[in-house]
Amino acid sequence: MKELHYAFGIDIGGTNTKIGFFDHQGALLSYHHIPTDKSLTPEKFIERIAQESFTLVAPLGFSRGDKRIIGLGAGAPMANFFTGMVLEAPNLGWKNVPLKAHFEKYFSVPSVIENDANLAAVGEKRWGSGKDLSDFVLITLGTGVGAGLILNNSLFRGHDALGAEGGHVLIPHEKKRLCSCGGMNHLESFLSAQGIKQTIHELTGEEWKIEKLGQLYHEGNQRAKTIIHTIAHELASGLTSMAVLLGPQAFIIGGGVSKLGEPFNQVILEKLNEIVHFSLKGKIKIISATLSSDKGAIYGGAAHIFEEVKK
């Protein structure tokens, strides 16, 4: 009988760090999250993640050095797959961190590192909505806006992993809004959690959570409809630029805002088909990520290391 293989998927975020343990078919066997402790040095924090990870899998009969654990894939802001480094991650307070080397030291397994949207795209390609697609863009709508590109069945990162930053495409808009990166009128200026919150406030004078927006839209509330149409149009503006350049089969929508689900996808599709180049009208799908709205990167981390060790 072929021996089963297992891997860790880890996602280091500005607030929390998520740890998942997966089998080779993408089943999440064990999950835990811890606060991202910025008071520790990066190396100490990785050591802590390793301790937590092996504590997590001990009840399943695994320990450090177990040959069935083939590796780990981890997401972190500004993580560079090619160099294994995080040169600078302001929201973690990290500079020049050899992240891949730290992981391999404390886990004693091979590792890959990526930004979280890239990982989420790899996960959807192997186990999720992108399984039967050769070309798609995964858009994560969370605290920020990220993009992961699968082109010709492979992850596309750009030279030195500096591309695929879909959150920072310019979108035309009558208003001016600053982006978290310091630029003006980027997709993220409008579609980040903060951007959507601002739009809701401008249109209603109130604070609504995404769940409330979805519920009111479902009930036919006119103000909710206006908000959904506004943010769908802003998103479609960004997607239009990506579509004409890349010709994807689909945009897969992930992250917290993807909880709005199919009704939101329908409006995005309608807006996209209104403004996209005529050659692409009716040709691109808008679909929801299927792995998880908040665990996409850990699935992707595991998927990524399974792909790497196969090579």
Nearest Cα residue to 23 out of 308, 305, 256:
305
Q: Rounded to 10 degrees, what is the CA torsion of 36, 163, 104, 297?
A: 50
Segment near Zn ion (CB under 5 A), from 135-143, 171-179, 231-239, 253-261?
A: 171-179
Q: What is the distance between the alpha carbons of residues 128 and 66, in angstroms, rounded to a whole number?
A: 28
- Provide, rounded to whole angstroms, the least separation between the CB of residue 178 and Zn ion: 9
Cα angle value 47/49/53 (rounded, 5°): 120
Edge-to-edge strand ranges of the sheet holding 16-23: 28-35, 16-23, 6-12, 69-75, 111-114
| Beta carbon nearer to Zn ion, 5 or 168 | 168
What sign does the dihedral 240-252-223-179 (CA atoms) show? negative
User: What is the crossing angle of helices 222-246 and 210-218, to 10°?
Assistant: 110
| Beta carbon nearer to Zn ion, 67 or 176 | 176
Residue in 186, 233, 271, 295 binding Zn ion, rule: CB under 5 A: 186
Segment near Zn ion (CB under 5 A), from 82-90, 173-181, 222-230, 256-264?
A: 173-181
Residue in 57, 85, 109, 179 binding Zn ion, rule: CB under 5 A: 179
168 sits near Zn ion (criterion: CB under 5 A): yes
| Beta carbon nearer to Zn ion, 100 or 177 | 177
- Provide, rounded to whole angstroms, the least separation between the CB of residue 69 and Zn ion: 38
CA separation, residue 279 to residues 2, 273, 276, 283 (Å): 48, 10, 8, 8
58 sits near Zn ion (criterion: CB under 5 A): no
183 sits near Zn ion (criterion: CB under 5 A): yes
Interface mask (CB under 5 A) for Zn ion, residues 212-251, using x and -?
----------------------------------------
Binding site for Zn ion (CB under 5 A): 168, 179, 181, 183, 186
